[in-house]
Amino acid sequence: MSTQTIYYGSIAILSFVLLLVYVFRWHKHLDAHVTVIFGMVPMINLFYFLMYSSSDAEAAAHCLKLSYLGGCFLPWVVTMCVAGLCNYRLSRYIRAGSLLLSALFYGLVLTIGHSDIFYKSLTVSQAGSAIVLVKSYGPMHTAYYAVIFGYLLADLVMILRAFSKQQLVSRRILCLLYVPIPVSIVGYAFNAVTIRDGIDIVPLTFLLGEAVYLGIAHRMAVYNESDMLVESIVDSSETGFVTVDFNFRYLGSNDTARAILPALNSVPVDGNINKSKPLAETVGDWIDGFQLSRETSRHLTYRKPAKREADEKLYAVTVDYLSDGVRNYGYQIILQDDTRNQKYIQLLGTYNTDLQQEVTTKTQRIIEMHDRLILGMAAMVESRDNSTGGHIRRTSEAVRLLLAEMKRYDSLELSDSFCKNLIKAAPMHDLGKIAVDDAILRKTGPLTKEEREKMKRHSAEGARIVHEILKETDDEEFRRIAENVAHYHHERVDGTGYPDGLKGSEIPLEARIMAIADSYDALVSRRGYKEAFSFEKANAIILEGMGTQFDEDLRWYYERARAKLEAYYSAQDDVK
């Protein structure tokens, strides 16, 4: 057995071993490009082994061409992987164009033996038990190396930029991403230099790169806490999940749900649940009730049959839409063991005072969950804007303080539901900023005219997003107030605001109130383009704007709320 065979065979075997390790440690949230890398490297190293262990010159030449799959396409895959791991969104034109460039060079590889554009000549001979390849490179082979080093340079630039600017990328992953670059440069630069005749360095660099990406795959799985948390909830022994599409076709469930509803074990995926009587009387009826009720989510109780009363289980059932946040795809049923709570309620009696408190508490928890969801969405948008931290929390409190004075004197006869809904809707006023480019949103200096115009679009976009989020809600007043707050909080009573240039009472009252709270917070808070104004200066600007920017009829209420606003903002550490 020749030295070549031992060298390339060992590398190929180790490549497949690393592939097996990756398969056993694979996580569904890993970047797809990482999986492609682990699929390509063993295959390419196998071609090297076959090339140098072949006794047939023509077969060796074909294996040489196949080995170039790594040289042509692996750098592209690695670059796409680096971009993904560094949180860069490359346009589809860049992705498609660079892939076509790699395919073009592989097309040139296939001309070996037919044209001198890539290889001027290739002689395959055998010296004893070793294969000898004598190569004479053509002009496009130099261009091929230029493209390879272009990919490596792009990788290096993305890693260094991510290391210096990105806050959401693991420094350990960035360090691991850097390692293959100098190794690859050495491998490609000294491809012509061999340890012994016929011993190329490139396959070894592929193997080392594969080992590094195994470490990256491990770190990616560790750092993906949110996905791991979701999976831990889904796999929890305490909560059952069942998903069904709009045609009542069964999509899936976890072990807990199948233990609660054993009939799920006999229904195939995509099978109609109504064809199973036990499921039609449970899951089917729950969904029917949800459709008829038109509720955002429906809460029920399911009593699991048991031979003994002591073994009886009661489950809290929640039916809701199965959604990706943009579109509904079916229904999701969540089952949680509620036996203890239900039996406790039964012992106390239907109208017992403690029972009423329990029901009120549970209802309040549901409401709080809904409100936290809204705040979470708003906070997610706010987290992209590094100049307005805490803005949604503070403006919501400012709205509450203004409404408190308006209700105290009650000259406008505001209803309790109006005030409650406006306070709850206030955090959604800037949701439209999710559509604003990071370069504008995070800019520390004044915006250009063009950037201001793009920023202005967030109000109309926010109204559209709020409409999509709340279009299924039965609380029409809340939906209307939330849409108006998002849409019109930058309108001015003199008609010079945006997006629609509304005047005076054409602007909904809730938006006029929101405008004062929003502007006050902007004045007394530090922003990337200015320091915080004093309370005196902010007050002067607000009062000066009454009748032009703000509703003159709200001056009286603002002045009475001023002391409470200043007291609240004085206690906030994140405004100065």
Q: At what angle do helices 391-409 and 416-425 cross, to 10 degrees?
A: 170
Calculate the alpha carbon distances from 67 to 32, 48, 139, 200 in Å: 22, 6, 20, 12
Helices (H), 442-508: 449-470, 476-488
| In contact, 269 and 252? CB cutoff 8 Å | yes
Domains of the chain: 3-228 (1.20.1070), 235-348 (3.30.450.20), 380-570 (1.10.3210.10)
**Residue 325 backbone dihedrals phi, psi, to 5 degrees:** 95, -15
Q: Would you say 517 and 567 are in contact if contact means Cβ atoms under 8 Å apart?
A: no
∠ at Cα 356 (351, 361), nearest 5°?
160
Separation of alpha carbons 384 and 153, rounded Å: 29
d(CA 463, CA 486) in angstroms, rounded, equals 5
| CA gap 145, 66 in Å, rounded | 17
DSSP-derived pairing of the beta strands 119-127 and 313-323: unpaired
Catalogue the E-assigned strands of 94-235.
119-127, 130-137
User: What type of residue is 32?
Assistant: A
Q: In a structure prediction context, what are the per-residue pLDDT tens digits for the chain, which is 576 residues long?
A: 677 778 888 988 998 998 898 888 776 667 788 888 888 888 888 888 888 787 777 887 888 888 888 888 888 888 888 888 777 888 889 989 999 999 999 899 899 888 889 888 887 776 666 667 777 888 898 898 888 888 888 888 888 887 776 545 666 676 777 777 777 777 666 664 444 456 777 788 888 888 887 877 776 654 444 444 445 555 555 788 888 888 898 888 888 888 889 998 888 877 899 999 999 999 999 988 888 876 667 778 787 776 676 667 888 888 888 875 667 778 888 888 877 776 666 665 545 565 567 666 766 666 666 666 666 666 666 666 655 457 888 888 999 999 999 988 777 788 989 999 999 888 888 888 888 887 887 777 788 889 888 888 889 998 998 888 888 777 889 889 999 999 999 999 999 999 999 999 999 999 999 999 999 988 998 776 678 889 999 999 999 999 999 999 999 999 999 999 999 888 877 666
Copy the structure tokens of residue 148. Answer: 């390879």
> What does DSSP assign to residue 386?
T
Confidence (pLDDT) at 167: 47
Q: pTM value? A: 0.42
Nearest to 200 by CA among 358, 55, 299, 52: 52
518 within 8 A of 395, measured Cβ to Cβ: yes
Going 507 to 513 to 518 to 524, the CA torsion angle's sign is positive
User: What is the spatial distance between Cα 120 and Cα 139, in angstroms, rounded to a whole number?
Assistant: 9
Side-chain half-sphere CA neighbours of 497 within 13 A: 25
Distance CA 470, CA 482 (A): 9
**Residue at 482: amino acid letter:** A
How much is the pLDDT for 564? 92
Element (H, E) at 501: none
Q: What is the model's pLDDT at position 225?
A: 43
Q: CB neighbours of 90 closer than 8 A, spacing ≥ 6?
A: 80, 83
